Amino acid sequence: MNTMNTMKLLFITALIFGAFGCEKPKSSSESTPKISNLTFDPSTLAKGSGTVQVKAQFDFEDDDGDIKTLTYTFEGATETTKVLNVASKTQGAIKVTFSINTAIAKPYSLSGYVTDSKGNKSNTLSGTLTVE
């Protein structure tokens, strides 16, 4: 093998190793938020109670305290909203209030996740609230 071919091979090997062989470990400033414990208040709804305000709440943990947005899906509609009052907090609770018309007995589903200022997305939580 001549010198030019050897240099090309070394360059290609370096590119492959650089692209796939090393991954910088995440520092605490790149931590991914975690959410848990989704609850609803009230936890049950009676059919025919009119339009009821329901509070959904879940706990969060974020080592670098930079949660920025909440993305949630309720009855097929997805919304992203800025999360207020959590700046610099590494744990706590986030609450969302929404309305349910209890004229029809059926299950209502809610799912959501948070994203931090670096774009790190948490796990997704899902829950169901039933009008009976």
Please name each of the domains of the chain with its CATH number: 31-130 (2.60.40.10)
CA dist 124 and 113 (Å) reads 5
Q: Are 53 and 99 in contact (CB under 8 A)?
A: yes
Q: Tell me how crowded residue 125 is: count the other CB atoms within 10 A of its CB.
A: 18
Bond from prior residue into 107 cis (ω within 30 degrees of 0): no
Lookup: tokens for 6: 């050897």
CA dist 38 and 92 (Å) reads 13
- The SS3 assignment for 105 reads coil
CA dist 78 and 124 (Å) reads 13
pLDDT digits (tens, 9 = 90+) for 98-120: 899 999 999 999 999 999 999 99
Q: Which helix (H) or strand (E) holds 15?
A: helix 3-16
Does the structure show a pLDDT above 80 at 5?
Answer: no
pTM summary value: 0.73
pLDDT digits (tens, 9 = 90+) for 50-103: 999 999 999 999 999 999 999 999 888 999 999 888 888 999 999 988 899 999
